[in-house]
Every structure is written in C-alpha cells, then in structure tokens.
Structure 1
C-alpha cells in the first residue's frame, strides 16, 4: 500500500467491529496482509470462524480474559492486554502487515489496559504504507485528533436496547 491512514470507529451504535471486519475482508481481497488484535475478547465468535478461511492473509488474535472488564481490570485482563499491545507494536515496527486493526483499542485505553500514551505511540509508529484501524466506544479526544478518519456510530433504534434482544450468533456474535 502506498499510503496508509489511521481510522477510528467509535460511538455507542452497532457496527464498529463489523466495519473493521468488512474492511479487513476487502483488504484481503486485494491481497493485503491483515492483523486483527482483539482487546477484551476471548471466545468462539462467528467472525473468527469465517476469517479462518482467509488465514493466509488475515491473522486474528484475541487478548481478553473471557468477558468484559467490570470495574478495575484483573491481573489476567491486564496481562492479556499487554500481550496485545506487544503484538501491535511488533506488527507496526516490522511492517509485516498492510492493515492492522486494534479492535476495542479505545476501550482498552478507557479501562486502563493500555495507556493513552501507548495508543498514541502506536499511532505515531505506524509505517507510511500501513493502514491502522482502532475501534471501540469512548475514543479519547487525542486519539480522534491524531486520526485521519473518525466515524462515530450512534444508535437511532436498536432491538437490544429497545426490545431486549440478546446478541445473536452470526449477526452480533
């Protein structure tokens, strides 16, 4: 890729992860190598199964302890996030990947799993030819300021909040 940018997908609406996954599939279709580092996630999500079909071009790694952080992060959650941060740093330093996704990176900053300075450092070290995608609610103002593209996804109507519908396999998980 000649020129890569920094994209941030944030907001309270549904679709941040979906957007980053769609971009990842599109990039793989163009022959780009993609790394998706999922903070705060651990489990057998449907997208993981689907992306295994593109394993020659898309690498997915999860760095969660099996559930969302509630309150102060546990030592296990912190250790998982440190591994995710180290992988992202390595991926951006080596230039092995054309597209690097820090999935739920904004939440990792919000909950102190990685520092704001570390996230800004990742953004700074991004090679010219690499696209960096950062997803998750609560994007810090400094992250948004440094990004080239920010999409804020807001709910207008959502069956989860409005009707109590749980996450469905193949649609939300």
Structure 2
C-alpha cells in the first residue's frame, strides 16, 4: 500500500466476501490508513456501521434503500446506486483514502444498476497508491481480468439451509 495499490476482488457464492473486506479494512485502519467503504444495494442497519464511532480513519456510506434481491430493483434503487458510483469515482480518483471498498459492486452490476464500462473506467483511473477492494457474487469476466487478486468464496455448507437467520454481529 505504500507504493502501488492493487485491485482485489472477493466473489463467489460462499459466505465471507464482505467480512474479508471488513477485516482488511480493520487492519488498514489500525495501521494508520484511511479507509472508505461504499456499500451498494445495502441500506439496512448492519453492525459494521457502528465501527465509525470507534475507528477514526474509517468511513462507511450506503448506496441502497433496502435489500431488493428478492424483487427487481426500483428506479429509486437505480438512482441511489448510480449516485453512489459517481461519489465513489471521485473518491477513488482523488487519493484521499488508502483503501476503498466497493461492497456488493458485483451484485449491483449483475442487476444492471450501472454499466460495466463505467466501473472499468473508474478502475483504470484510480489513484495509483489506492488499494481497491470489490466484493459481491457474480463478478463479471471484465472485472476479474483487470483485478490483481481474485478470491472466490465457495459454499460447502451453511447453517442458513437449516433455517438459521442472519445473526447480529455475525452475519449482519
């Protein structure tokens, strides 16, 4: 992170993509780095939002209303995501932060909330020292090609299939 920033992607159907990005963010903040996390699609009160109260150098902003994954996105969902992408574009280009996480960006692309060409342009023009983390299922081939590191989370077994709901502090 001191000289060149890379593009990392966490994708796949297994649990842990956002968690991995949050872990990397915690490590960076504890090393004195500034971190911005933009959460696409998410608009609910996830526990990690409270981290800003405890970790100077960490900023989290949501670009979603509620999780629409079971329905089609509304026009408002699309507008909020596109506004978020524009805000993040400026943040990524300016170099004020050392690490930027585009949480659930891959899902936003999957639901056509914005264009892949716009995202590729943002990646291409990112500040050279910035570490860029992209999360979400269904990463597009173009994103995988420009990334420097790609990790695929693979679900082997999940207690959700036994009816266990998302738990505060663990999954949300």
- Is 2:51–2:58's contact at 8 Å kept on the other side of the alignment? no
Partner of 2:150: 150
CA distance in 2, matches of 1:76, 1:70: 16
1:33-44 correspondence runs (5 A):
33-44=34-45
Show CA shifts across 1:59-84 (max 9, x none).
00001111224454211101110121
Report the Cα offset of residue 52 of structure 1.
Answer: 2.7
Unaligned runs of 5+ in 1: none
Partner of 1:165: 164
Show CA shifts across 1:44-102 (max 9, x none).
11111134311x30100001111224454211101110121011101012111110100
CA distance in 2, matches of 1:129, 1:6: 11
Partner of 2:22: 21
Matched position secondary structure for 1:7? strand
CA distance in 1, matches of 2:29, 2:23: 10
1:65-76 correspondence runs (5 A):
65-76=65-76
Deviates most, 118-127 or 7-16: 118-127
Matched position secondary structure for 1:62? strand
CA distance in 2, matches of 1:81, 1:157: 31
CA distance in 1, matches of 2:59, 2:21: 13
RMSD: 1.1
Q: TM-score, normalised by structure 1?
A: 0.95
Report the Cα offset of residue 118 of structure 1.
Answer: 1.2
Deviates most, 67-76 or 83-92: 67-76
Partner of 2:137: 137
- Is 2:44–2:65's contact at 8 Å kept on the other side of the alignment? no
CA distance in 1, matches of 2:165, 2:71: 22
May I ask how many residue pairs the two structures share in their alignment? Answer: 171
